[in-house]
Amino acid sequence: MRVYQYLADLVLVVHFFFVAFVVLGLLAVIAGRWAGWPWTCSLKFRLLHLLAIGIVVAQAWLGQICPLTRWENELRVRAGQAPYEQSFVQDWLHRLLFYDAQVWVFVLGYTVFGAVVAGLWWIDRRRLHW
């Protein structure tokens, strides 16, 4: 069914924006320290960012597949597609999101990234505000 294909593409777009928030959020925190951007010390923003990477790290350590990936795959199967069959939207977003590597590489990468986010949280703990 066509509707499942559209829903799968929508989940992929949400997945992309989640990853972008995690990656660009860290870059914003680092840049904000030097540029003096007050929003990068917002406790709401930093808690949401820490929670987002914390979920990714926890899933990696527990050996779980991202629920967004599972959901997209299920929708693609319902649409009569093989998971990650390339459409225009998929082709470009998958190139940015998915890589072939051993599982331990991802676990290590997510863990280091999460440690950097947590470390910046600790360094900025006195500057954080609501």
pLDDT tens figures, 26-37: 999 999 988 999
pTM: 0.81
Residue 128, in any domain of the structure: no
Q: How far apart are CA 98 and CA 12, in angstroms?
A: 11
Structural domain of 115: 2-123
Residue 32, in any domain of the structure: yes
- Return the pLDDT at 88: 45
Please classify residue 121 by burial: count the beta carbons closer than 10 Å to its beta carbon, then call 0-12 exposed, 13-18 middle and 19+ buried: middle
Q: What is the pLDDT of residues 35-71, one digit of tens each?
A: 999 999 999 999 999 999 999 999 999 988 889 988 9
Residue 130, in any domain of the structure: no
Number of separate domains in the chain: 1
